[in-house]
Amino acid sequence: MRSIEAMKIYIDGKYYDPKNAKISVFDHGLLYGDGIFEGIRAYHGRVFRLAEHIERLFYSAKAILLKIPLTPEQVARAVVETCRKNKLRDAYIRLVVTRGAGSLGLNPHKCAKPSVIIIADKIQLYPAELYHRGMDIVTVPTTRNLHSAVNPAIKSLNYLNNILAKIEAINSGCEEAIMLNAAGYVAECTGDNIFMVKGGQLLTPPLSAGALHGITRGVVMELARQNDMAVSEPNLTRYDFFNADECFLTGTGAEIIAVVKIDGRVIGNGKPGPVTEKLVAQYRQLTQVSGEPI
C-alpha cells in the first residue's frame, strides 16, 4: 500500500508533498465551487482516453468562461508526468482547474490566474463484491440540474446536486441512486451514467435528459456497436428500467458495474447479465492496450 506521504501533487507547474500541497483560502474554487475537473484512469502504464478527457475539460472551461493557463498538449504532458512522479502504472487521476484566488465577492474577473491541480492515486469506488453480484439502487427525490441552471454537461466543482442525491442513496442503504430530470425522465446516477438492455438493444438516457457526456459511456456505446447491437438514446422512465433485461452503470471511477435491483424491483434474473459481462470483459481488454504511455 502506497504511503500518502510519498505522493507528489502537481500545482501550477510544481510538485508538492501532500502536507505542502495548498491553495489560497481565497480561491474561488473553494469559496464558490468555481472551477472544473476531470477524473481519469491509467491502466497498465497507459492513461486511458486522455485526449477525450482533456477535450471535455476545455469544453467545460469554455462554458464557464474560464481560460485554462495551459494548452491541451501541456495539460496532457502534466497528467502523464504526474503519474511518472508518483511511480503509478494503474491510477485514478483527478485533474482540477480552479478560477484562482480573488476577492470575497462573486466577480470572477477579480481572480488573477486560474490554478491547475493534478492528483494521481488509487481508487476503489464500490466494494469489490458488488462487481460480482451486482448492486441495488434507488430513485431519489433530488432532481438533476436543469440545462437552464447549471448545465449537466459542465463538470464543475459545485457537485452539491449530486452530493445531495448521494446522501439520499446512502440513507436508503444503497451505494448509488437514479436521478430524474424535471420532466420525470431518468437522467443519470449521482456519479455514473446508466444503461439498460432490452430485447437485444442497448439504451441509455440522452444528453438532453441531463446525462453527462461520459467518456466510459462513449466507450461502451462503441463496444456495443462493434458487437452489432443497436444502440439508442431515447427518453427513459423508471418503468422502462424496471422491465429491462439487464441494467448497468458506467463511469471512469466505477468502470462498468451491473445493477440487479431498482427501487425493490429485480432486474432480469437478479444477476449480472450476459451483455453486461461481455462488455465488462471487452472494456478490460481495451484498457490493457489503449492509452497514452506513461
Please identify every residue annotated as catalytic. 155
Q: Where do the DSSP E strands lie in 190-244?
A: 193-198, 201-203, 230-232
d(CA 284, CA 95): 23
Distance of CA 255 to the CA centre of its chain: 9
- Cβ–Cβ under 8 Å, residues 261 and 137: yes
Q: Return d(Cα 260, Cα 270) in angstroms, integer.
A: 5
Which amino acid is present at 266?
Answer: V
- Residue 146 has which C-alpha cell? 436543469
Name residue 177's beta-bridge partners: 138
Can you tell me whether residue 29 is helix, strand or coil?
helix
Cβ burial of 26 (10 Å; 0-12, 13-18, 19+) is middle
Strand partners, 194: 249
Structure-block grid coordinates of residue 118: 493534478
Return phi, psi of residue 244, to 5°: -75, 155
Name which of 77, 94, 99 is nearest 7 in CA terms: 94
Cα distance between residue 40 and residue 49, in whole Å: 8
